[in-house]
Amino acid sequence: MNDDRLADRVAAVRAFNRLYTGVIGVLDEGPADAEYSLPEARVLFELAHQDPLPVTELRKRLDLDAGYASRLLARLESRGLIARERSGEDARRQLVRPTAAGRDAFAVLNARSTEQIGGLLRRFADEDQQRLLTAMRTIGDLVGDRRRDPALVLRPPRPGDLGWVVERHGALYGREYGFGPRFEGLVARIVADFAEREDPRQAFWIAELDGERVGSIACTRGPDDDTAKLRLLLLEPSARGHGVGKRLVTECVSFARAHGYSAMELSTVSILTAARSIYRAAGFELVEETDFADWGPKLTDETWRLKF
């Protein structure tokens, strides 16, 4: 990345940071005469979710040095909101817990925060709320501590999903491989054919990780009644490494087998090495190759087949 591009991106991050800290400051700190400071409110929040909590763990969660944490806890203790005690298992460890007054104080703060955040969200239409929450999840995934095992769900398409499949195919394959508009047009025709035909022997799946769309696949009729076709396997970069592609292909193959097909075919191109590895692991074999350049770059089209 050149210096000018990096400088532009640093400026964009700084601009977002100023906006975000302004919004989150209003939500978390409230008015200047608020009864509790932000650090005090954060302590009450942590104690409401784990009672008791070792002081060392509290310091780690809130990134507090020992001296500041001691003064902060002393203030809360003097107000009757928390109590400190020695651990019964290890006398060297100090535990902190909320008092009844502390729990009441947290309930008031929590209700106030819920109303403030609800007020922020109510400024936007439902679709824009979803965009905001998706953006927040994306930032959390990239800069936060990622969960090792996010929840994977495969489900049928909902309104808007099929258009998303077309858009994401065009955007991802255009960016990563240089595929042009003719490829996106092909995807759109496949999706349209699926949507216009009610057929119990075809199915479509959308993959979600922690509630966010990250992939797709479809089982459609192939060249004859005995052959199914695997189509539209898509994986967002964020889904790679979580076994989503393998799960989608397994689901698609199982559906075809259960619905009376004796074989399944798919078309791919040789540069899609990750997808080819998934197909090979599922038992597909390469049966035909053809060179073409319809999507922009010169490619080798491949037909893979699996017999049941």
Would you give per-residue pLDDT tens digits along the chain (308 residues)?
A: 677 788 888 888 888 887 777 776 656 555 444 678 888 888 998 998 888 889 999 998 888 888 999 999 999 999 999 999 988 777 778 899 999 999 999 999 888 888 888 888 898 998 888 888 888 877 877 776 655 567 899 999 999 999 999 999 999 999 999 999 999 999 999 999 999 998 999 999 999 988 889 999 999 999 999 999 999 999 999 888 889 999 999 999 999 999 999 999 999 999 999 999 999 999 999 999 999 998 988 999 999 999 99
- Which pLDDT belongs to residue 20? 76
- Which pLDDT belongs to residue 24? 67
- Which pLDDT belongs to residue 174? 95
- Which pLDDT belongs to residue 74? 94
Cα separation of 158 and 163, whole Å?
10
Per 3-state DSSP, the chain is made up of helix, strand and coil in percentages (nearest 5) of 50, 20, 25
- Which pLDDT belongs to residue 126? 87
pTM of the full structure = 0.61
- Which pLDDT belongs to residue 145? 60
The SS3 of residue 224 is coil
- Which pLDDT belongs to residue 89? 78
CA of 145: how far to CAs of 48, 141, 159, 236, in Å? Answer: 22, 7, 32, 19
**Which of 274, 272, 269, 273 has its CA nearest to residue 290?**
269
**Which of 147, 43, 154 has its CA nearest to residue 96?**
43
Residues in the chain: 308
- What phi, psi does 29 have (nearest 5°)? -90, -25
**Which of 56, 107, 110, 101 has its CA nearest to residue 76?**
101
Which residues are CB-contacts of 83 (< 8 A; sequence separation ≥ 6)?
A: 77, 96, 97, 98, 99
